[in-house]
Amino acid sequence: MSDVLKLEVPLGDALRKSKLKGIISIISSLQPINNDKIEIKKIEQSDKNTLLDKIQIIANRFITIKRLGSGGFGEVYLAKDKNQNDLLIAIKFENLNTSRPQLSIEKYVFEIMYESIYIPKMFYFGIHNEYTVLAMDLLGPSVEDLLNFCGRKFSLKTICMIIEQILRAIEALHNHSLIHRDLKPDNFLFGLGMKSHIVHLIDFGLCKNYRHPLTYEHILYRTGKTLTGTARYCSLYTHHGLEQSRRDDIECLSYIIIYLAKGFLPWMSIKNSNRKKRNEKLMEIKESLTSKELYSNLPYEFELFYKYSRTLSYTQRPDYGYLRNLLITLINRLKEKFDYIYDWHLIVKLFKENLDAGRPILLKKKIT
């Protein structure tokens, strides 16, 4: 770790900065979970009644605690599981009247992927009042959260360790005849406690069978499809309205690598309120850039990753081993180790050392 930037502010002032909240959150996610010692934050009196109105007891087992966030499917709540000694979990709520239900798709994926360590575990699926509910592992910060915490850039080692694990998750998904279709840093979450070093793949609402799960017959090649997924990361084939297959998940990852290394993508500056026109312009920029331009100042292994993704045919099985080997080769060439020590661990360690010593906080300016 190098090029640290000293903040010329007293420690007391620094503790009031929002950065501290992120550090505390990361620190807590690195510790083993002891549910007996977890204390839920006191609720402000002004918000108490509103929150109590939303507390639900589901299947005489799960008790909701507070709202964590929302997504295209609905809302996510923190809850405790009485059948597992009040284990903290996450529960997704989806309105039964939604036009495009996703939780039933997630349930299907969770059931067939239960053996993968890179996929969260599902505890319950059912109906509660006017909602479909799905209870699952409570996870930690997303890769997007951690990218912001680390100053919008990751070291090459951290990128390789993240993508290598996501590749394993995607390979397992593909081996079960599924494609994800919405890979992005927001959908890569680290675990908590003893699983805080493992990246988990989430949000399977857009998953689709690319082949019949029993006969392995590949779905037909189609054109004129609407864009499914996140335009920022989706493949050029998807932009052109082609039916997605395994190759599209791989190409998505190649763009995510650039994003994690540089903190941005060349087409992120497009501003247009019309989504269709914005996506068309985004596609134009993606197509116009050569691999050399896309991966300028980045290791050649990353460029090879992208080039390989663009050579895959519609029905071709990606060589996941080759792609993982590119990442491992880069780690070795950097004389690093795949030790699950990520950039945020180094920042947290630095913070704690200075906090214990009563010195001004040192924040990392960049990681080389």
CB burial of residue 112 (10 Å; 0-12, 13-18, 19+): middle
- Alpha helices by DSSP H, the chain: 11-14, 18-29, 45-54, 103-112, 143-149, 156-175, 236-239, 246-262, 275-288, 291-294, 300-311, 320-333, 343-357
Residue 153, annotated as binding a ligand = no
- CA–CA separation, 231 and 346 (whole Å): 33
Three-state SS letters, 234-274 = CCHHHHCCCCCCHHHHHHHHHHHHHHHHHCCCCCCCCCCCC
Active site residue 248: no
Q: Say how far apart CA 280 and CA 95 lie, in whole Å.
A: 32
Both tokens assigned to 94: 């989806």
**Which of 233, 231, 225 is CA-nearest to residue 314?**
225
Q: Which member of 81, 137, 182, 248 is catalytic? A: 182
Question: Do residues 89 and 138 make contact, with C-beta atoms less than 8 angstroms apart?
Answer: yes
String of DSSP letters for 46-114: HHHHHHHHH--EETTTEEEEEEEEE-SS-EEEEEEEGGGTTEEEEEEEEETT-SS--HHHHHHHHHHTT
Catalytic center residues: 182
**Which segments are annotated as binding site?**
92
